[in-house]
Structure 1
Amino acid sequence: MKAIVLGCGLVGGVIAKDLAKDKDFQVTVADIDEGKLDKLTKETRIRGIKADLSNSSDIKKIVAEQDIVIGAVPGFLGFDMLRSIIEAGKNIVDISFMPEDTLSLNELAKKKGVTAVVDMGVAPGMSHMIVGYVDSLMDETKSATILVGGLPVIREWPYEYKIAWSPKDVIEEYIRPARLIECGKIVEKPALSDLELVDLPQIGTLEAFNTDGLRSLLY
């Protein structure tokens, strides 16, 4: 199977390496940064393509011969990239932290016969799957609270935080209005609102606040 990863950043590069471990996949990664591509492909069987992932025509061209697309671009590129992939008639798994409503592309995806699995990062993504799994074990679930943090193994002042994905999107997460569900209704609150302290065993006391991490789980 031919798979292409769009974006060779902190996460996209790792996705490409993981896919390349499976000999059933022929892996290509596309990015505008030749240095990142050279570093990734130098000692692997991954193929690199320099491409402008903000250009719809370029995107459609490089995915034309691919069986599956993995979107790993910064959030500000995510929605237009996703739309281009759907227009090209390609199935996609996407991790981009985009502000737009991906469900607005649902009818286009149906028309093109495309499966688009979005919000597949850590949160949104893994957090949703964990909540869904636990919910399947329960007779009834009345509420769910998701706490997510980038806690490094070695904690250093002043932030004791690990940026493991797009730095721009880390900042975006802390300024974008947060959507959540209260009393069965979708509400919007400022980022960093409803500050609370959470005590975690073997870690200590941490601050927690609202960010826009529910996304597709809202619906």
Structure 2
Amino acid sequence: MTRSINEVRVVGLGKVGELVALLLSDSGFTVTAYDARTRSDLPFACKELDVRDGAALRSALTGADAVVSCLPYHLNLGVAEAAHDLGVHYFDLTEDVPTTNRVLELAGSGEARNVYAPQCGLAPGLIGIVGSWLAKQFDEIRSIELKVGALPRHPAGLLGYAFNWSAEGVVNEYLNDCEVLRSGRRQMVPAMTEQERVVIGGIELEASLTSGGLGTMCETYEGRVQRLDYKTMRYPGHFELMRFFFDELGLRDRRELAGEILVQAKPPVDDDVVYLHAAVEGHADATGERAYRKQYVRAYQPLTINGRHWRAISWTTAASAAAVVELVADGRLPQTGFIKQEDISFVDLLSTKNGALFGDLGKV
């Protein structure tokens, strides 16, 4: 079958971007990667690029069928706008709501020539795909509860955490208000609230609301679902300490400093685990029950890919994004316009080379 995507540009070779490029290359795409510094140790072409240089960025994307932006959220918009101007399919990993809203505007401005698929990572991304897959198994939906936790397997200290992901992104998730559905209507509520206890495979965790993890799901399910929210999972006691850190120490309004302090205090670790917990409650005629609950729970460990150790947070995020690119390339998703993560079939995603990892691994 002829693919609609062959030439892919990957912009940003950080904790996830390098693996995105590797997975796409291994999946048969011709990949050229761009970063602030050039690399000669990679099995695909890599070139130096200052993404803030609009002309250089457009030159880099010229001739591409698609671009995957693996940059910090505040740099994504330049890539999205360049892709829009050139008619190049656009994918990113952002959890930032204003960034996604701008991508939505680009998708709706004039006749779309390309795909706009932001939020293709883990949360938002895979967790929404799984949640919507569960929801389709119900005739009436009462609640959709989505949770993800990226944690050290062997936590140390009171926080029980390590910054294997962007500190900037984590701080925003902890401080920005969260969109939820309550009584079927969209509301904004404070982050790090509505805390609850979760147990996965005998490991006790706590979960609190954090921002950005739902992507566009509240808009999609408004009026159809009574309650919908996304929570981040941490080891017990974490959120109380983070509220002290931001509020008692006055760092809520000093986000950059907060991120610097946290990364220095809790640097990345290689031995991590990603917990994924999706649950839907409602009524399904096939069960004969008045109320019914279905859950999908996984604990993903680090993985060796092409002889190299990759953290769980890196490969789960990268594989989800690469699988979505595969689906568009193979014509199993729309070829133009905005793609919501909740409109992606989990069954189709599992059938891709990279999505198959999620079917084979992580069972608890």
What interval of TM-score do these two structures reach, taking the shorter chain for normalisation? 0.7 to 0.9
Matched, 1:119 2:123: no
Structure 2 Cα separation of the partners of residues 90 and 27 of structure 1: 14
- Following superposition of structure 1 onto structure 2, how do residues 181-200 of structure 1 map, counting pairs within 5 Å? 181-200=181-200
Preserved CA contact (<8 Å) 2:54 2:78: yes
Shift of 1:54: 2.6
Corresponding position of 1:88: 86
Distance 1:54 1:181 in 2: 37
| 2:16 counterpart of 1:18 | no
Contact 1:87 1:112 in 2 (8 A): no
* 1:90 and 1:114 in contact (8 A); partners too: yes
Distance 1:218 1:54 in 2: 32
Q: Distance in 2 between matches of 1:104 and 1:198?
A: 37
- Within 5 Å, give how 1:70-109 maps onto structure 2: 70-100=68-98, 101=101, 102-108=103-109
State how far apart, in whole Å, the 1-side matches of 2:217 and 2:73 are.
18
What is the rounded CA distance, in whole Å, between the counterparts of 1:124 and 1:25 in structure 2?
Answer: 24
Look up the equivalent residue of 2:197 and give its one-letter code.
L
The one of 11, 24, 31 equivalent to 2:35 is 31
Instruction: Output the TM-score relative to the length of structure 1.
Output: 0.87
Query: What is the SS of the residue equivalent to 1:59?
Result: helix
Give distance in 1, aligned partners of 2:115 and 2:178: 27
Instruction: Please give the secondary structure, in 2, of the residue aligned with 1:133.
Output: helix
Assess if the C-alpha contact under 8 Å between 2:95 and 2:123 holds in 1: no
Alpha-carbon distance between aligned partners in 1 of 2:96 and 2:21, rounded to the nearest angstrom: 21
1:145-184 CA distance string (max 9 Å, x none): 1111112333333333343332221222112221111112
Query: Which consecutive unaligned segments of at least 5 residues does structure 1 have?
Result: none
Q: After superposition, where does 1:102-181 map in structure 2 within 5 Å?
A: 102-108=103-109, 111-181=111-181
CA 1:141–1:162 in structure 2 vs 1: closer, same or farther (change >3 Å)? farther
Letter paired with 2:158: P
User: C-alpha distance in 1, partners of 2:91/2:45?
Assistant: 19
The code of the aligned residue for 2:31 comes to V
2:53 paired with 1:49: no
Structure 1 counterpart SS, 2:153: coil
**Does the 8 Å contact 1:11/1:165 carry over to 2?**
no
Larger radius of gyration: 2
Q: Secondary structure at the match of 1:54?
A: coil
- Does the CA-based 8 Å contact 2:22-2:43 persist in structure 1? no
**Does the aligned pair in 2 maintain the 1:9–1:165 contact within 8 Å?**
no
CA–CA separation in structure 1 for the residues paired with 2:61 and 2:55: 10
Is this contact kept in 2: 1:6–1:73, CA < 8 A? yes
Give how far 1:196 is off.
Answer: 2.6
Paired residue total: 210
**Superposition pairs of residues 54-73 of structure 1, within 5 angstroms:** 54-73=52-71
Shift in CA distance, 61/113, structure 1 to aligned 2, threshold 3 Å: same
Aligned equivalents of 2:183, 2:54: Cα separation in 1:
41
Task: Choose between structure 1 and 2: higher strand proportion.
Answer: 2
Distance 1:162 1:137 in 2: 36
SS at 2:161's partner residue? Answer: coil
**Aligned partner of 2:20: which letter?**
I
